[in-house]
Amino acid sequence: MKKLALVCSLFFLSQISKSGDCDQIINFFSKKPLDLKEDAKFSPYQQPDIQTTRFHSLTTSSDWNLQLEDPCTDDWGRNWFLDGQYGSVENSESGMNFSAGPVNRDDAHHAVLWTNDTFAGELKIEYNYTRTDNQVINVNILYIQATGIETPPYERDILKWANLRAVPTMSKYYNNMNALHISYAAFATVNDDPNADYIRVRQYPATEEIPFSKTEIPPAFERTGLFLPWETYRITVIKTKSELYFNVKGDKLEKLFSWPLDHADLITQGRIGLRHMYTRSARYSDFKVSVR
């Protein structure tokens, strides 16, 4: 292999010498020497990505038991309850249209939909998601296995203190719940770039020792090219004891994101939630949750 690299180098030099292009010769010798072992890491013929293979193995496992199946075309109240007096939910033949309130920066205009069911163990969550807003600010969040921190009045069953979330201020959730949080189709609260979206995972609760800014589980992903308005995407989330996967397929794209779960011991059973920050809206359909 080294002889081959030497022959190729000599051939290249002979060609640029004929052209008299000194800049090419200088650039050639200023480059980092070719490391065949290093380049092999980036071969297009390498084996499939380990995480992709692992995700495929998990999604196709026969161990999953379907617990919730909601086409989202019937009465939404059969499977969900709502935090937020200005949120609205309407069913149609196309799915469940969920909107937060219209007033930006007013906490009363946040909205959260929660499953009536609770889910224990490892999870597979699948649903169709269609953005029905054109906003370039604020966040959508998927809450996973949320429970109260069990310090009064925040009982383990979050339904028992739903009245405290009539105004669904974000801090009432991240300070008083055990949960995983996936932000997606998400933008900064001050932004004018439609391509500046991000996906980010957090683990609740925030505490005196771990403020909200430190609850993130890295990495975050920016400028994903996903979640364009009025495009439908199939989202598949898998949460195991040690890993979290978020797969998005739609608009001729499919992307997989993953995170390690090193300290999620308390997040083993709870409700699933859909948060829209003020001004945000989307349609959901074919919502399924499987456990194992």
Q: What is the pLDDT of residue 266?
A: 84
% pLDDT > 70, the chain: 84
For residue 254, pLDDT beyond 60: yes
Cα angle, residue 44 at apex, residues 38 and 48 outer, rounded to 5°: 100
Q: What is the pLDDT of residue 43?
A: 30
- Is 3.40.50.10320 the CATH number for 50-291? no
- What is the per-residue pLDDT across 147-168, written as a single tens digit (0 to 9) for each? 999 999 999 999 999 999 999 9
Give CA–CA dist 29/23, Å, rounded: 10
Within a 10 A sphere around the Cβ of 87, how many other Cβ atoms? 22
For residue 142, pLDDT beyond 90: yes
Q: What is the pLDDT of residue 20?
A: 44
Predicted TM-score (pTM) of this structure: 0.83
How far CA 149 is from CA of 107, 152, 154, 213, 238, in Å, comes to: 22, 8, 6, 19, 23
For residue 12, pLDDT beyond 50: no
For residue 10, pLDDT beyond 90: no
- What is the per-residue pLDDT across 22-81, written as a single tens digit (0 to 9) for each? 443 333 333 333 333 333 232 333 345 899 999 999 999 999 999 999 999 999 999 999
- Residue 7 φ then ψ, to 5°: -60, -45
Give CA–CA dist 233/129, Å, rounded: 5
Cis peptide before 260 (omega within 30 of 0): no
Q: What is the pLDDT of residue 48?
A: 58
Burial class (CB in 10 A: 0-12, 13-18, 19+), 114: buried
What ranges do the domains of the chain cover? 2-40, 50-291
% pLDDT > 90, the chain: 82
Give CA–CA dist 240/260, Å, rounded: 10
Which token pair is 12? 């290249």
- What is the per-residue pLDDT across 198-216, written as a single tens digit (0 to 9) for each? 999 999 999 999 999 999 9
Q: What is the pLDDT of residue 264?
A: 83
Instruction: Name which of 256, 257, 260 is nearest 241 in CA terms.
Output: 260
DSSP class per residue in 127-188: EEEEE----SSS-EEEEEEEEE-SBTTB-SSGGGGGGGGSS--HHHHHTTEEEEEEEEEE--
For residue 2, pLDDT beyond 80: no
How far CA 3 is from CA of 9, 15, 43, 56, in Å, comes to: 10, 19, 20, 41
- What is the per-residue pLDDT across 80-90, written as a single tens digit (0 to 9) for each? 999 999 999 99
3-state secondary structure 30-97: HCCCCCHHHHHCCCCCCCCCHHHHHHHHHHCCCCCEEEEEECCCCCHHHCEEEECCCCEEEEECCEEE
Residue entry with tokens 């050639």: 28
255 forms bridges with which residues in the sheet?
248
Q: What is the pLDDT of residue 93?
A: 98
